[in-house]
């Protein structure tokens, strides 16, 4: 999880350096969501951490694979299977015994509760009191803005055009401000994760 955040940060820096601020905002959201999961997963006593890691690394991926299996199975049952054309769907199918063993191990009541705990808006609410207030406000703002970017809302298209018009006039204040805030938030997040990662490894960051 940590290495993925660092890789996304590197990509974000490249996008900003080429002036692709809006695309960078989407990567900033990915970094923020990864941070929330990282912070939540490694908070609490060892037993709590292990239980949350089991949910994140084992249970949720298994649930997702079963969902994909069910979709692939339904689709393939309706078409004449061409092994080459639908190879990806065939590969998504699971052994029914594996699925049965999974549901025998985990109760339906437990499985229903798990995905909701890991939703990003729920994590943001849950961690509100633990996060730095300024970071929390920035995360909340960026989360809402990036949603509008991802959905290509009209106000985002309008802002993009405003940026383009300003750049043609030689005015770079707004693009620089948005790019700087995006980079600052992501750097802060990855730094927080780095400090926590070092702590988990038994290292004292103050000794560096």
Query: Do residues 205 and 192 make contact, with C-beta atoms less than 8 angstroms apart?
Result: no
- HSE toward the beta carbon, residue 88, CA cutoff 13 A: 3
Task: Write the CA distances from 39 to 30, 59, 68, 96, 123, integer angstroms.
Answer: 14, 19, 28, 35, 9
Q: How far apart are CA 183 and CA 175, in angstroms?
A: 12
Q: What is the DSSP letter of 119?
A: -
User: Any idea which of 2-11, 25-34, 107-116, 143-152 has the lowest mean pLDDT?
Assistant: 143-152
- The dihedral formed by the CA atoms of 125, 129, 134 and 136, expressed in degrees to the nearest 10: -20
User: Any idea which of 59-63, 111-115, 198-202 has the lowest mean pLDDT?
Assistant: 198-202
How does pLDDT run across 99-152, given as a tens digit for each residue? 999 999 999 889 999 999 898 888 888 888 888 888 888 778 877 888 888 888
**Scanning the structure block, which residue is given the tokens 């989407």?**
26
61, two tokens:
């991926």
Global pTM value: 0.80
Q: What is the DSSP letter of 59?
A: I
Q: Which of 71, 63, 21 is nearest to 175 (CA)?
A: 21
Burial of 182 (0-12, 13-18, 19+ CB in 10 A): buried
């Amino acid at each position: 999880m940590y290495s993925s955040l660092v890789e996304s940060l590197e990509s974000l820096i490249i996008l900003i350096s080429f002036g692709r601020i809006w695309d960078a905002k989407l990567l900033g959201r990915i970094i923020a969501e990864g941070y929330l999961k990282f912070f939540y997963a490694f908070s609490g006593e060892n037993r709590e951490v292990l239980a949350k890691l089991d949910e994140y690394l084992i249970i949720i991926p298994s649930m997702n694979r079963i969902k994909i299996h069910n979709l692939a199975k339904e689709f393939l049952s309706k078409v004449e299977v061409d092994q080459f054309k639908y190879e990806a769907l065939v590969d998504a199918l699971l052994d029914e015994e594996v699925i049965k063993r999974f549901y025998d191990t985990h109760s339906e009541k437990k499985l229903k509760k798990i995905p909701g705990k890991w939703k990003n808006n729920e994590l943001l609410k849950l961690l509100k009191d633990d996060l730095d207030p300024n970071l929390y406000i920035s995360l909340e703002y960026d989360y809402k803005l990036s949603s509008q970017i991802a959905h290509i809302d009209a106000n985002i298209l309008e802002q993009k055009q405003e940026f383009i018009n300003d750049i043609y006039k030689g005015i770079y204040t707004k693009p620089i401000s948005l790019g700087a805030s995006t980079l600052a938030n992501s750097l802060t997040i990855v730094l927080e994760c780095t400090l926590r990662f070092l702590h988990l490894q038994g290292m004292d960051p103050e000794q560096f």
